[in-house]
Structure 1
């Protein structure tokens, strides 16, 4: 089966398949991409004959015809204009021309199957399975951060080996690796390596350098770099490139390769029909959408270019009840002993499948007299929704994979490669299941619907309340609960003889709600952290010591935050160990004192004090002189490109300065740092550890001051 596809300027498509003798290409000259035009609404009047006559005269249109298709899951077959075009790059421009004819003279029309990625479109329309038939070979290429904006590199990583020298030397090393390994996949630290290598070859006059498997095309640029905003966060998408015959994975622009591995990627390739190169740069929502589009395609349903689903009318009281979100039982701040965690297995996906919560069947007209969704009164059709067909195979597959992981871990002769494969596939499927709920409320979702989002939450609240009540009746006290997890500890007012076992209760709750409640873990103790400026518990900040293991579960505190320097993380983890052994704030503060002494003595390697922060805007757009601004100015001085949405790494050298000397970039060799600044960061990290015991920052500072005074007066 082909694993990657190339689209040549003359319209030919190359299907690349691995064989025992290397990859071979099959040329296809008869492929014509297709999009559709139909009425925007079922009762809209649209003149497809006139529109067809316009397209038939267009030089980029191969053929047109009127076909029966469903313009939506809630619509039956309708006359639809299918437009076959000469090249995949002409789909969107031709669809824009249809928009210009909307209302007059054609009518209120809409375009469908327009904005698909090119390789995915090809596989969907031709029925080709892009899952690799055999293991793909890889070659890793990387460049240091100091040369990411350079037209000529002096250093390059080739399969883990650092190569230095002239451009000719670097090009020779890369060409030798290409010729020797003949890789199917190029894993690049940034895809800009592709264009940079070719630019170096032109400048150095090196003839014959090529990464391509096709003699007539060296590489193609598929998209330029861009900055975007999603859910209040700024992101950066680098330029994307294509090398004929090889899939490219850009490590600076991939979620699934970073969170899983190639096995996880290939599992999703088989489910989404997105080839490896496209799946590597795709977001979770993008892959979920592709799987949904495959299901829609099988049902003869077209995919809207832009979603225009209206929200169903509902009374004010229903709006209020529907907007309550998921289940939350505020944590009891403090350190709790003998704590047990229970989780519902894939709660939201299972709710979708158990109660048939799908955009095409929620609040159906045929059962409008029913109230199937608790507290909201929404009806759900008896006909199975498409979302169930999308998610149930994924739920079942992940359950099977998790069972295989458990069996593999119990084997005497552990097969680590097999375990890595299973864990990669499990992680990939987990992310799809995690996203499926929130995606229903996403305004740009192709098939989402806000009523599904509301219904899922309503079912989840009922399930968690049922579990809470049964656990309390069985002699357990709930100390925290959020979304799909509950933490309990023995109720001191109930004797051991009267208290029911958690295994029995979990089994009974599972039978009642028909979704498996799993016993996740037992903790010697768990500490729930208060909010910074409040005594109320922070919902997602806690840590605990796992019973019988030298292991802590940590959520939300500095050791789990991507910006935290290594030194701060290490000290905080040491403090966790000390707290677990002594449960003494004084012992924790003693560790803090030693760390502060190391800082002020200059004994901490600056490499362990690197912070990593995301840049939200260009340097000129900042109104205050932050550390990020200082770092961006230093990067600009060194001709290093850092775009909004990308990370910048630096050491704080003097936090009192309002100039670029405030920080040093991570790659700059410096042994200087601001000990007072990092002392403040240490105090914050230690506050997270002992705040459940009633200590705040001012208490820590007073104890530190008292200790320092004692040490001075002792002389």
Structure 2
């Protein structure tokens, strides 16, 4: 089973299989990728022979044939045109030509199986399993941020060792380690390492330098860098490169490898048929789509190039009722003792599984008179939906893996390597399950449908309301609830003898709704934080002391925010422990006062004050002189490329200024910092801890300065 596949420009394909003695390559020259053309309307009397004759004359087309396939889950088998192409790079241009034929009005023809990634397409069409049969060897190459804008590196990290010197020295060191380890996977801090090293070799006259395992090809550029927007956030996608015989993992462009580990990546490789390199750079939705495509392929269903599914007609009242999210109970701001958190296990995926919610069966014609979805009146066909078959194995696998993790942790001498593997796999599957619901409402999802999104939310609202009713009837008071989680505490108006056991209640609710309600945690106390400009509770900001293990659970406040400097996070966590030990805001303010004194004394290391923020637009796109703008100006001054969607790290040195002197980049020599600015950040962080107790930042600042607001009674 090959772990990577190279598709060369001369139409040859190289399959690389990892073995204990290194990689073995198999060369193929008979692979021809395929796409399909069909009528958009199944009832249209459309003659495909005309377009077949056009394609038959094209030099990039190997052959064409009429075959029977299903152009959609709701369509039966029909005759479609299959077009075999000489090279994988010609699939999209040739498919685009089908839309430009004058013999057919625009929109009459549609193309399928067009925009697949290269290696995934190969595995899907040839039946190759890209799951490695042997353990993959890994080598890391890295360069510091100060080197990323240069055409010649002066410093490179190779397998953890730093190499400096002339280009020849660096290239010799890289080649030596590469030859000694012969890795299957090259983990690079940035993908630009690949072309830059080759450019350095050319300039230095080093003819024998090569990262590749194939002597005829050094590397290929698969994609250029780009900026994109997703759910209101700007992201950056670096250029992608391929080195024959090796997997390239770009640390600046990998989700699953960064969020899990290689074990998690390999688990998804086996499920999605996307080889390691493509899985590493793929998004959650991309991998979920690949798994869905595999299921469609097994059912003989073609994959649309573009999503064109219309939203089914619905009355205005239904549209209003459907356009809602999950149910939320506003949290009761303040501190609550003896709180239990209950979570529905993988609620949305399990709604799909237990209620058979799938694009191919929602609002079916055969049961249009049924009201299967609560509050919306949508029908759901009795035939098992394809999405259930996609998610069922993932849900079952994650349950098994979580059980294995619990068993391993309960052992007297747990196997840490085994735990790392299991947690990586569990984490990877968790992300797929998290995305499966939202992807149904994504306009570009290959097989999504907005009615599925609406139905899942409708079932979720009913389930949470059912749980709330059963818990309150059993003598428990709900203090917060959001979508799939609910926090309860003993109802003080109910005698202990009359209160139902929480575990028994959870079991009864599980049986009722057919989705497991799990006891997630017991807290000695939980504090729900108010919104910044309101007394209402913030939905996702809370912190609490976990009963028994001495730890804390923190959500939403500064210690969990990625931009928070390490010093501010450490002080907030220290004050949280102090608050738990003393139950006294005054004791917390003593710790805050001490931290402020250290700031103004200049004893806090500058690396503890680094802020990390995402750049949302080019420098010219900003109209205000923010700290990000100051940092971008410094980066440009030093020829450092920071693209929209990437992070920039800096220390605030003088927040009164609006120029680039306001901040210093993290790699610069920083002699001082703006203590007053970081004092403000500390007060804000401690304000989050004390806000459930009625304190705000003004109260904290007055207490610190010894100033008290006079009251009218003081003048009596």
Deviations 1:358-391 (A, max 9, x none): 0000000000011100111100000000000000
Does the Cα contact within 8 Å between 1:256 and 1:428 map onto a contact in 2?
A: yes
Matched residue, 1:199 = 199
How big is the shift at 1:495? Answer: 1.1
Give secondary structure in 2 for the equivalent of 1:178: helix
How big is the shift at 1:708? Answer: 11
Matched residue, 2:165 = 165
Decide whether aligned partners of structure 1 residues 700 and 411 sit closer, same or farther in structure 2, where only a CA change above 3 A counts. Answer: same
Matched residue, 1:713 = none
Partner Cα separation in structure 2 for residue 10 and residue 205 of structure 1: 27
Q: Where do residues 407-486 of structure 1 align in structure 2 (5 Å cutoff)?
A: 407-486=407-486
Q: Where do residues 550-569 of structure 1 align in structure 2 (5 Å cutoff)?
A: 550-569=550-569
Matched residue, 1:188 = 188
Partner Cα separation in structure 2 for residue 102 and residue 154 of structure 1: 57
Partner Cα separation in structure 2 for residue 106 and residue 639 of structure 1: 47
Matched residue, 2:237 = 237
Give secondary structure in 2 for the equivalent of 1:409: helix
Give secondary structure in 1 for the equivalent of 2:441: coil
RMSD over aligned Cα, in angstroms? 1.2
Give secondary structure in 1 for the equivalent of 2:75: coil
Matched residue, 1:406 = 406
Partner Cα separation in structure 2 for residue 102 and residue 553 of structure 1: 63
Partner Cα separation in structure 2 for residue 24 and residue 99 of structure 1: 42
How big is the shift at 1:24? Answer: 1.1
Partner Cα separation in structure 2 for residue 656 and residue 702 of structure 1: 23
Deviations 1:61-89 (A, max 9, x none): 00001111111111111111100000000
Partner Cα separation in structure 1 for residue 190 and residue 636 of structure 2: 19
Does the Cα contact within 8 Å between 1:605 and 1:671 map onto a contact in 2?
A: no
How big is the shift at 1:671? Answer: 2.4
How many residues get paired?
Answer: 709
How big is the shift at 1:102? Answer: 6.6
Matched residue, 1:27 = 27
Matched residue, 1:344 = 344
How big is the shift at 1:45? Answer: 3.7
Is 2:118 the counterpart of 1:122? no
Does the Cα contact within 8 Å between 2:99 and 2:106 map onto a contact in 1?
A: no
How big is the shift at 1:14? Answer: 0.3
Does the Cα contact within 8 Å between 1:249 and 1:281 map onto a contact in 2?
A: yes
How big is the shift at 1:119? Answer: 0.2
- The answer for unaligned runs of 5 or more in structure 1 is 710-715
Partner Cα separation in structure 1 for residue 548 and residue 452 of structure 2: 42
Partner Cα separation in structure 1 for residue 248 and residue 449 of structure 2: 34
Does the Cα contact within 8 Å between 2:100 and 2:106 map onto a contact in 1?
A: no
Give secondary structure in 2 for the equivalent of 1:640: coil
Is 2:510 the counterpart of 1:510? yes
Deviations 1:522-553 (A, max 9, x none): 00100000000000000000000000112110
Does the Cα contact within 8 Å between 1:102 and 1:109 map onto a contact in 2?
A: no
Partner Cα separation in structure 1 for residue 272 and residue 519 of structure 2: 32
Does the Cα contact within 8 Å between 2:214 and 2:245 map onto a contact in 1?
A: yes
Give secondary structure in 1 for the equivalent of 2:53: helix
Does the Cα contact within 8 Å between 2:123 and 2:129 map onto a contact in 1?
A: yes
How big is the shift at 1:323? Answer: 1.2
Deviates more, 1:197-206 or 1:433-442: 197-206
Give secondary structure in 1 for the equivalent of 2:498: coil
Decide whether aligned partners of structure 1 residues 568 and 129 sit closer, same or farther in structure 2, where only a CA change above 3 A counts. Answer: same
Partner Cα separation in structure 2 for residue 265 and residue 532 of structure 1: 39
Does the Cα contact within 8 Å between 2:684 and 2:697 map onto a contact in 1?
A: yes
Does the Cα contact within 8 Å between 1:47 and 1:107 map onto a contact in 2?
A: no
Partner Cα separation in structure 1 for residue 501 and residue 683 of structure 2: 41
How big is the shift at 1:43? Answer: 2.2
Matched residue, 1:135 = 135
Does the Cα contact within 8 Å between 1:223 and 1:239 map onto a contact in 2?
A: yes
Deviations 1:465-506 (A, max 9, x none): 111111111111000000100000010011111111111100
TM-score of the pair, normalised by structure 2: 0.98
Partner Cα separation in structure 2 for residue 218 and residue 499 of structure 1: 71
Partner Cα separation in structure 2 for residue 702 and residue 179 of structure 1: 65
Deviations 1:317-363 (A, max 9, x none): 11111112101011000000100000000110000010100000000
How big is the shift at 1:160? Answer: 1.0
Partner Cα separation in structure 2 for residue 99 and residue 672 of structure 1: 62
Q: Where do residues 66-81 of structure 1 align in structure 2 (5 Å cutoff)?
A: 66-81=66-81
Partner Cα separation in structure 2 for residue 708 and residue 207 of structure 1: 76
Deviations 1:154-203 (A, max 9, x none): 11111111111111111111111111110000001111111111111111
Matched residue, 1:319 = 319
Give secondary structure in 2 for the equivalent of 1:429: helix
Matched residue, 2:261 = 261
- The answer for unaligned runs of 5 or more in structure 2 is 710-716
Partner Cα separation in structure 2 for residue 503 and residue 195 of structure 1: 59
Matched residue, 2:712 = none
Is 2:644 the counterpart of 1:647? no
How big is the shift at 1:621? Answer: 1.1
How big is the shift at 1:583? Answer: 1.6
Give secondary structure in 2 for the equivalent of 1:212: coil
Give secondary structure in 1 for the equivalent of 2:55: helix
Deviates more, 1:694-703 or 1:391-400: 694-703
Q: Where do residues 266-665 of structure 1 align in structure 2 (5 Å cutoff)?
A: 266-665=266-665
